[in-house]
Amino acid sequence: MFNLTDAPVRRGYGDGDIGLILGGKLPPAAGGNLAVSVQMADAALDRFDQSVIIQLPRPYLLFLGDVAEAGFAKTAFGLRDWAPESCVGQFACSPDAVDLGLPKLTPREARTRGARAMVIGIANAGGYIAEAWLPSLVEALEAGLDIVSGLHASLADTRALRVVAERCGRRLIDIRRPPKGLPIATGVKRPGKRLLTVGTDCALGKKYTALAIARAFAARGVSSNFRATGQTGIMIAGGGLPIDAVVADFVAGAAEVLSPDAPVDHWDVIEGQGSLFHPAYAGVSLGLLHGSQPDVVVVCHQPGRTWVLGNPGFRVPSLKQTMEMNLRLGRLTNPAIRCGGVSLNTAHLSKADARATLTEAEQRLGLPAADPIRGGAAFDRLIDSCLGLPR
């Protein structure tokens, strides 16, 4: 018997489907006290299977628009590096656009090679859909491709695209559009094991740390899934849940849906968002921490960063402060939470400086410190620690 005794549960906000959930299932929303048998829960979950769990159509054609700076094409580069098997080629509307080194294909050529969707692989300032892109986006729809976007501007709100998509029977998939029907969190401990990447700040490697750890777990034969919470992660994984698009009351509940009940030896490696020390994004980070109920956190940091990104009046906390704060607040929903180690983004350092920085952090904290992209023995020690293996 699976019991939620005396657990008040409100109906989720909105109506309709919950989109873009990677492997998640949603229990029925109800009011008052709940005592749900396994059979009743299974029946309810089956009712949601077809409408709730949506996977992105793959493989992709990566759209680069007219973006000439690599920094604005981080989504495309992330897909190329972490999901190469899902990328058939690249397409741009300007000869000056960045080059991913993938085959340059038209949408029709990509469709003949098996592509099912064109991903807007750029994140411009303001997250808008440029007028200059529209002919290329229309071309993709008419070639039989769905369009996937992580921009703040909605594809579905762009009339020219909506009309063509309806005529061609194609989908406009806005990853950042808040999913409907999410429940509030129950706080009930779920079976299975969970690892969450947390950070001293935003935009310093939580996604790539989670991806690298999930890949390392799989290489060791550990049953595991990468659970995506941001737009690029969702595209890499082929599904997920855009946690920063969820109404605040439902963030923890969304995390519970994203990482559902699992076998006791299965690991969900959950992509973290923001930082508990960021004045703008701490709320998202806290909801994700409580809903994820992580058994292990890995603290991510970029050595040398002094001020919180976008808020120069706030200093970046130390690794120890970040670890202690996440453990203290995380104990609300998982009293057994522990820190597996730290992940340092040393891309700006020489090999020798990176090694010295990692060694110093490991000695100071008494925990493994590694750069997952550099790998090596330090990263192996971090994985051992996350899995609870003796040092």
Amino acid 42: pLDDT:
35
For helices 206-219 and 376-386, angle between their N-to-C axes, nearest 10 degrees: 80
Q: From residue 121, how far is each of 18, 88, 96, 325 by CA, in Å?
A: 24, 13, 15, 35
Amino acid 54: pLDDT:
52
Residue with tokens 């559902």: 260
Task: Output the tens digit of pLDDT for each of the chain's 391 residues.
Answer: 222 223 333 333 333 332 333 333 333 332 333 232 223 233 333 323 323 335 799 999 999 999 998 888 989 999 999 999 999 999 999 999 999 999 999 999 999 999 999 999 998 877 899 999 999 999 999 999 999 999 989 999 999 999 999 999 999 999 988 777 889 999 999 999 999 999 999 989 999 999 999 999 999 999 999 999 998 999 999 988 999 889 999 999 999 999 999 999 999 999 999 999 999 999 999 999 999 999 999 999 999 999 999 888 999 999 999 999 999 999 999 999 999 999 999 999 999 999 999 999 999 999 999 999 999 999 999 999 999 998 7
Which two three-digit tokens encode residue 206? 């939580």
| Distance of alpha carbon 376 from alpha carbon 77, whole angstroms | 23
Query: Contact 339/366 with Cβ under 8 angstroms?
Result: no
Amino acid 7: pLDDT:
30
DSSP character string of 186-208: --PPPSSEEEEEEESSSSSSHHH
- Those residues whose C-beta lies under 8 Å from the C-beta of residue 331, and which sit 6 or more positions away, are 337
HSE (CB half, 13 Å, CA atoms) of 49? 7
Whole-structure pTM value: 0.84
Radius of gyration of the chain (CA): 21
| Distance of alpha carbon 378 from alpha carbon 43, whole angstroms | 46
